[in-house]
Amino acid sequence: MQHKITSVRTLMKDNSIDLLVLGPGTHLRWLLGFSPPLDERPSMLLIGKEKEAFVMPSVKLKK
């Protein structure tokens, strides 16, 4: 997985892109090996010049 992220960062640098945001789908599945279900809650992979983060809200269950 890390070699794919490194490749993406190289392309980002070559194209002057500071931040890449990927939502659920085939691109995310290719990069991480999984893709969360597409629903109303935002799930995104953010790739910056030096760091990456996955944004996924917590789900609170009602008792």
pLDDT, tens digit, 9 for 90 and up, residues 6-62: 999 999 999 999 999 999 999 999 999 988 887 778 889 999 999 999 998 887 777
Q: Which residues pair with 45 in a beta bridge?
A: 22, 54
Q: Answer whether residue 61 is part of any domain.
A: no
What's the pTM value of the predicted model, to 2 decimals?
0.80
Q: Is residue 28 part of a domain?
A: yes
Helix (H) or strand (E) holding 11: helix 2-14
Number of compact structural domains in the chain: 1
> Which pLDDT belongs to residue 47?
96
Per the structure, the complete domain to which residue 31 belongs is given by 2-55
